[in-house]
Amino acid sequence: NAGVTQNPKFQVLKTGQSMTLQCAQDMNHNSMYWYRQDPGMGLRLIYYSASEGTTDKGEVPNGYNVSRLNKREFSLRLESAAPSQTSVYFCASSFFRLAGANTGELFFGEGSRLTVL
Amino acid sequence: KNEVEQSPQNLTAQEGEFITINCSYSVGISALHWLQQHPGGGIVSLFMLSSGKKKHGRLIATINIQEKHSSLHITASHPRDSAVYICAVSGYSGGGADGLTFGKGTHLIIQP
C-alpha cells in the first residue's frame, strides 16, 4: 500500500538516552519532513529534505539531527533526549507542482508518540 | 513568517448541519492545504488549492487570494466527520516543507 511508514509508533525514553525515528515513503516523492505536534501549538517543522542528499532546518531543530539515507528514507535522531522533546512526531512526504494549476500530494505517517521521562 | 489563524477553535453541531471552518493568513501564498486528523489518528490531506473552489463528496474548500482567506464547508454533517481540521499554507519557495505553516486546528464534534 502506498504511503508513509513511521517506526516506532510508541517509545518511552529516559533523559539523556538516544533514539532514531525511522520514516519511509514509497511514492517517489522528492520532499520529506519531520514535524512535532504539541497540545495548543499545532504542527511545527523540525527538519525537511527537499531532495535526496539535502536537509535543512525548520522552525524547531535544536536537539535533533536528520539523515536522508536515500529517496525513500528520512530518519530523525535524538542524541540526548530531554523531557521537552516529549511529543507526537509526524513524518510526511510531498510532491508539489506550482506552475499553472497547482497540484500536489501531501501524505503523513501515522505518528510516533515519544515520552521522555 | 506567515501567521495562520483558524476559527472557530472548537465547534459542536448536530448531525445534518452545514459546517463552515475558516482560515486566514497574513502573507501571500502559493497554495493552501486542508488536513483532517481524527482523535489519536494520523493526518490526512483533504485539499490543496491555490484559487477558486474544490469539492470532494460532502466537503467543499474555497479560497479568496485577495482577502487571504479560505473556508472549508461540510454539507450534511455526520458524526464520522468529528475530527480536527487543520489549515496549512505554502510559501513561494517551491511549496515544499520550508513554506508550510500550520494553523492550530479546529476541533469539530458532530453529535447524532
Q: Do B97 and A50 touch (CB under 8 A)?
A: yes
At residue A98, the 3 state secondary structure works out as coil
- Residue B13's H or E segment, with its range, is strand B10-14
Q: How is residue A73 annotated by DSSP?
A: B
CA angle A62, A63, A67 (to 5 degrees): 95
Does A88 touch chain B if contact means CB atoms closer than 8 Å?
no
Q: Do A104 and B103 touch (CB under 8 A)?
A: no
Within 8 A by CB and 6+ apart from B54, the residues are B47, B60, B61
* B95 has a pLDDT exceeding 60: no
- Residue A44, exposed/middle/buried by CB under 10 A (0-12, 13-18, 19+)? middle
Predicted confidence (pLDDT) per residue in A5-59, tens digit: 999 999 999 999 999 999 999 999 988 999 999 988 889 999 999 888 899 998 8
* B92 has a pLDDT exceeding 80: no
Predicted confidence (pLDDT) per residue in A49-108, tens digit: 988 889 999 889 999 999 998 999 999 999 999 999 999 999 999 887 666 556 778 899
pLDDT of residue B97: 47
The mean pLDDT of B25-33, rounded to a whole number, is: 86
pLDDT of residue A2: 67
Does A108 touch chain B if contact means CB atoms closer than 8 Å?
yes
Within 8 A by CB and 6+ apart from A50, the residues are A30, A31, A56, B94, B96, B97, B98
* B93 has a pLDDT exceeding 60: no
Site from B45, B85, B92 to mutate, A interface, most A CB atoms within 10 angstroms = B45
CB atoms within 10 A of CB B60: 16
Site from B100, B101, B102 to mutate, A interface, most A CB atoms within 10 angstroms = B100
